[in-house]
Structure 1
Amino acid sequence: MFKTERPILGIDIGGTNIKTGVLVGSQLIDIRSIPTPSMETQEFILETISDVIQSYIHHDFFAIGIGIPGLINAEDGIVLNLSNIPSFRKVHLRDFIQARFNRPVFINNDANCFVLGEYKFGKARIFKNVVGVTLGTGLGAGIIANGHLYCGFNYAAGEWCSVPYLDKDFEHYCSSKFFISEYGIKAKSMAKKALEGDRHAIKAYQEYGHHLGELIKYILYTLAPQAIILGGSIRKAYPLFKDSMVNSIASFRYPSVSQNLKILISDLDETGIHGAVALIDEFAIPMKAISER
């Protein structure tokens, strides 16, 4: 488990909420959440983020990690676009924050932060090759390869959401979009009906499990990880789709891989914040840079 000698501020920027916390040792403290001003101007949102950071200044954090649900140029710290926040386009977020607070800033997308948080703090830490899959409003994925976060060119690795599948893509069939478009109801409401014994809802989740199993086979053919850890809100309905998912995976052509695969369900609180602070450990800030702050 990652442990820091000096506090690190973690920020998880979502389309609905901005969640924050400080890592002290190996524990997150002072965890907060505020509504994301998603429909405001870029300048307003930047000032909101700045105000949040300023409110933590008494913790004397030495670095800042940020996870976002969108495309980024992580090397230059530029947010290319942010899901559900229309005004956040080509934002030089790292330069803005570093100019205000004179601390190192690391930015990555939320799916990468999810798997990194699980690898550094959660169930995935005993594996060297892991894929994290987030099942929610959309579909996201992050990759740990040989003990390190693998982002690929332009940080676009793991975008299985856009891979064509059946008549659409995997995101359509493996996120809440499946239940909304195919059944006209949100995943959470469908799960409630299924748990109450509604046969129609039970069948819907069985279908969902089949599609998720097909995605997992695709991941196995691509990377052959030791484990896949599921996050996102739909993971809470795992008992409803587990069997059909496993049945789908059973047809994988290389049983030596699939039969040894571990399917894990995330139980780590505030994975987004954990992953954000873990960026500092993953990208190894030299102590000289820290001492010169």
Structure 2
Amino acid sequence: MKHLIGIDIGGTTIKGGLVKDRDLIKQTVRDTEADKGGEITLMILEEIIDRLKTVETTGIGIGVLSVVDSAQGIVYHVQNIRNWEEVHLKSILEEKFGLPVFINNDANCFAMGERIYGLGRQFENFVGITLGTGVGGGIIQRGRLLADANCGSGEYGEMPYHGGKLEEYCGSFFFTKKNTTGREIAFKAEKGDQAAIEIMNEYGKHVAALVKMVVLSVDPQAIIFGGAISNSLHLFKEAMYRNLTDFPFPNSIKKLSILKSELQNIGILGAAALCYEL
């Protein structure tokens, strides 16, 4: 039986939770107060952990929107938190709380959360992709996060594409550059609006390019999509598959499972799941 703390450090809030086995039994949310400086944010983080920690707690997992030295537990250039250019978070928190601390970026946390708590339990090799403001990915191989040098594997959104990068076509910017939002287009497409349906079909074409990059790089059993835009998978799935018919290795697509995450509170659960790397 595991009692774990999961912490999701976002741009404006810190979400924390106590996870018992597979159940989130307690959670809390605080503003990062990042404009006051990183020292204040660190104090708030410590207060959240102190509030969640029990005598049965065995580990702390933390997900951040930044570059991470996951081995040393150092976070670099955390978005929207002033003065968090290089924070030795693992050593700071382990010294304070006397528990093992695991830190990784948010996309890797998503993949680990799926592996431990979600649809990823049925796959030894899969890629978790978040479709939201950005496009991030975490690669699971042989049941574990892919070991890499700089915590940068799976960042498919940064791949060059159409003179820009893939994130501009598979993230929310695809919709904002059309003076709309993904939610608005999804709503209209559900109602049968032809223009919205065409936009969703165009989006599906770009997601097909993302799928091709994933399969050509790591050839997984499955791709599990998360993030706000993934809720519209049923609206762009047909177009996505239509644009995968020219893939040079058709059996790879035929065998590939493309799924949408079913997890709630994935940021907290994904962070807690890092402790399973023990």
TM-score when scaled to structure 2?
Answer: 0.95
1:130 and 2:126 matched? yes
Structure 1 contact 72–81 (Cα < 8 Å) conserved: no
1:43 and 2:39 matched? yes
Deviation at 1:15, TM superposition (A): 1.4
Q: 1:73 aligns with which of 58, 69, 73?
A: 69
- Tell me, in whole angstroms, the C-alpha distance in 1 between the residues paired with 2:37 and 2:160: 34
Q: Superposition RMSD on alpha carbons, in Å?
A: 1.5
The amino acid that maps onto 1:256 is N
- Tell me, in whole angstroms, the C-alpha distance in 2 between the residues paired with 1:106 and 1:61: 14
- Tell me, in whole angstroms, the C-alpha distance in 1 between the residues paired with 2:151 and 2:191: 42
Give unpaired runs (5+ residues) of structure 1.
Answer: 285-293
- Tell me, in whole angstroms, the C-alpha distance in 2 between the residues paired with 1:277 and 1:268: 14
> Which secondary structure state, in structure 1, belongs to the residue aligned with residue 255 of structure 2?
coil
Q: 1:170 aligns with which of 166, 170, 191?
A: 166
Which residue is 1:193 aligned to? Answer: 188
- Tell me, in whole angstroms, the C-alpha distance in 2 between the residues paired with 1:260 and 1:54: 46
> For the structure 1 residues 50 and 121, does the alpha-carbon distance in structure 2 shift closer, same or farther, using more than 3 Å as the test?
same
- Tell me, in whole angstroms, the C-alpha distance in 2 between the residues paired with 1:205 and 1:59: 50
Structure 1 contact 65–106 (Cα < 8 Å) conserved: yes
The amino acid that maps onto 2:179 is G
Q: Residues 225-261 of structure 1: CA distance to partner in whole angstroms, max 9, x if unpaired?
A: 0100000000111121111111112211101111110
Q: 2:153 aligns with which of 152, 157, 160?
A: 157
Question: Percent same amino acid at aligned positions?
Answer: 39
- Tell me, in whole angstroms, the C-alpha distance in 1 between the residues paired with 2:241 and 2:197: 16
- Tell me, in whole angstroms, the C-alpha distance in 2 between the residues paired with 1:84 and 1:203: 35
> Which secondary structure state, in structure 2, belongs to the residue aligned with residue 225 of structure 1?
coil
- Tell me, in whole angstroms, the C-alpha distance in 1 between the residues paired with 2:55 and 2:235: 43
Which residue is 2:58 aligned to? Answer: 62
Which residue is 2:203 aligned to? Answer: 208
Q: 1:103 aligns with which of 84, 99, 102?
A: 99
> Which secondary structure state, in structure 2, belongs to the residue aligned with residue 87 of structure 1?
coil
The amino acid that maps onto 2:7 is I
Give unpaired runs (5+ residues) of structure 2.
Answer: none
The amino acid that maps onto 2:219 is A
TM-score when scaled to structure 1?
Answer: 0.90
Which residue is 2:138 aligned to? Answer: 142
What is the count of residue pairs matched by the alignment? 278
Which residue is 1:8 aligned to? Answer: 4
1:251 and 2:253 matched? no
> For the structure 1 residues 151 and 178, does the alpha-carbon distance in structure 2 shift closer, same or farther, using more than 3 Å as the test?
farther
